[in-house]
Homo-oligomer: A and B are copies of this chain.
Amino acid sequence: MTLPHPLARDLTRQLGPRKVLSTPGERRMYSYDAIQMGVVPVCVVLPESTQDVALAVKAARAAGLPVVGRGAASGLSGGAAPAEPSLVISFTRMTRLSIDAARREAHAQAGVVTLKVSDAARPHGLVYPPDPASFRTSTIGGNLAENAGGPMCFKYGVSGDYVRGLQFVDADGDIHDLTRDAYDLAGLLIGSEGTLGLITEATLRLSTPARYTRTLMSSFARVGDAADAVSRAIAAGAVPAKLEFMDRACVNAIEDYLNIGLPRAAGAVLLVDTDGDDLDTVQEELELVERACTSSGGEVRRAATDADAAALWQARRSVSPALGRIRPQRMNEDIVVPRSVLGEVVREIEALGQASGLKLVQFGHIGDGNLHPNILFDPRTESEEAVHALAHRIASVAIRHGGVLSGEHGIGSMKLPFMAEAVDPVTMSALWDAKHALDPQGRLNPGKVLPSPDGLGGAHD
């Protein structure tokens, strides 16, 4: 039998046994996120308050161990999977949530499930727009750590755009309450994947939901045509609430999983919502999109009923589980490229996939230029080096076209190897300066976001 780590004994003494997990079986569950395996933590703590978090960080510091924050671990870049033996702080019990209707604000602890914010706000005529695909399980803390997006984010902005204030625990275990004036330290924390501090609570801006929504699906012979339709629709002035893209492999994976009548033969499918408070305008905007799709050779089907629309969006949200059935593992990219080059980028990536012999699917929030090329593989039969080489070539396509590596999933550990190419050495050194300022000893989620300076091969001074 393995003895609990001294940190586990210390935390159990300070917090009580109910808040500490220390057996190998318990700890193993906290070693991975939705996509990446990490290192089994030496101890897991389940705080019930910000004070518990502060205490745990102080204890880990005293024990010389890193700290990794964790929400629902539905992340897709390895952000919550420890890269070193660490204390994992799992926020799932910090679920206090209140709505202040007069201020149009929600106060949510880090462990609140994303969807619950809108559920609680709806009786007051309010909603919380950010809608990552995993919003039924993902948490506010995790969403903010990764600055998560979602289909609604094209029109309504990403998670960080809804933050009025933040509470976080720093590397020393001190508690900070941030507004967004003076230096926007809150903005720096958002998307920093727990490497600069642990977000414990947030004040979120709520908004009123649109009165009307209309949905269409358009299928295209070629992926590039779908991308061209998107550029065309937006250039014509449409600002759809959602604008999603799935390629043939993706559509077929969902169809195998849900069997809801998606067009298996299409090269690509677009899913589009327009919304607003005036039905005529909402329909006019849908027509704009429809014309753009038709002009690019697409076949259009409008959702006849709300149930029809809901089924289409359920399909989109099922991409991740559907792909999981094809190969046991996947390498998920999250590139963002200018919309004007979307067609070209999608075609180039498709060609790279075909040349590699690996199974590649593409989907994403194409309205934002945010694409998720996914390499599906079986590590028992396929070479991980080949997977990484293809992922690298895809990242290079994005960078060459003026794009960035991550739209909404974060850099995590997965995109770390590409950061040195995406960010010039001088700017990388400024990012490291920010890291050193807030976490001088590198105790917070080490091995994420920023590649180790040594890895830059001397380009870093």
Stretch at the interface among A38-46, A179-187, A250-258, A378-386: A179-187
Closest chain B residue to A231 by CB distance? B102
Q: Does A86 contact B (CB under 8 A)?
A: no
Q: Which residues of A160-197 have CB atoms within 8 Å of chain B's CB atoms?
A: 160-161, 170, 174-179, 181-185, 187-188, 190-192, 196
Cβ of A405 and Cβ of B181 under 8 Å apart? Answer: yes
Measured in the bound complex, the distance between the Cα atoms of B176 and A426 in whole Å is 7
Q: Does A259 contact B (CB under 8 A)?
A: no
Q: Per a CB cutoff under 8 Å, which of B188, B196, B235, B237 touches A102?
A: B235
Measured in the bound complex, the distance between the Cα atoms of B185 and A103 in whole Å is 29
**Per-residue B-contact encoding for A143-165, CB less than 8 Å = 1, 0 else:** 00001000000000000110000
Cβ of A182 and Cβ of B437 under 8 Å apart? Answer: no
Measured in the bound complex, the distance between the Cα atoms of B183 and A423 in whole Å is 11
Cβ of A182 and Cβ of B423 under 8 Å apart? Answer: yes
Cβ of B434 and Cβ of A183 under 8 Å apart? Answer: yes
Cβ of A184 and Cβ of B176 under 8 Å apart? Answer: no
When A235-B102, A280-B278 are in contact, do A183 and B178 touch as well, CB less than 8 Å?
no
Cβ of A183 and Cβ of B188 under 8 Å apart? Answer: yes
Cβ of B181 and Cβ of A188 under 8 Å apart? Answer: no
When A278-B278, A281-B281 are in contact, do A182 and B449 touch as well, CB less than 8 Å?
yes
When A174-B426, A175-B426, A237-B125 are in contact, do A411 and B340 touch as well, CB less than 8 Å?
no
Q: Does A433 contact B (CB under 8 A)?
A: yes
Cβ of A191 and Cβ of B184 under 8 Å apart? Answer: yes
Contacts of A62 in B (CB 8 A): none
Q: Which residues of A188-237 have CB atoms within 8 Å of chain B's CB atoms?
A: 188, 190-192, 196, 207-208, 231, 234-235, 237
Measured in the bound complex, the distance between the Cα atoms of B438 and A132 in whole Å is 33
Q: Per a CB cutoff under 8 Å, which of B104, B160, B183 touches A196?
A: B183
Contacts of A426 in B (CB 8 A): 174-176
Contacts of A281 in B (CB 8 A): 276-278, 281
Q: Does A430 contact B (CB under 8 A)?
A: yes
Contacts of A231 in B (CB 8 A): 102
Contacts of A434 in B (CB 8 A): 183, 185, 188, 434, 437-438
Measured in the bound complex, the distance between the Cα atoms of B188 and A438 in whole Å is 13
Cβ of B185 and Cβ of A188 under 8 Å apart? Answer: yes
Contacts of A431 in B (CB 8 A): 182-183, 185
Q: Per a CB cutoff under 8 Å, which of B100, B340, B419, B437 touches A433?
A: B437
Q: Does A427 contact B (CB under 8 A)?
A: yes
Q: Would you give the shortest CB distance from A17 to chain B, in whole angstroms?
A: 30
Q: Would you give the shortest CB distance from A322 to chain B, in whole angstroms?
A: 27
Interface on A for B, CB 8 Å cutoff?
100-104, 125, 147, 160-161, 170, 174-179, 181-185, 187-188, 190-192, 196, 207-208, 231, 234-235, 237, 239, 276-278, 280-281, 336, 338-340, 404-407, 411, 419, 423-424, 426-427, 430-431, 433-438, 449-450
A147-B184, A182-B431, A277-B281 given. 19 additional CB < 8 A pairs?
A103-B340, A104-B234, A125-B237, A176-B424, A178-B427, A181-B406, A181-B411, A182-B406, A183-B188, A183-B191, A183-B431, A183-B450, A184-B191, A184-B192, A185-B427, A187-B188, A278-B278, A278-B281, A434-B437
Which 8 A/B pairs are nearest by Cβ-Cβ distance? A437-B437, A187-B187, A278-B278, A102-B340, A433-B437, A176-B427, A278-B281, A181-B404
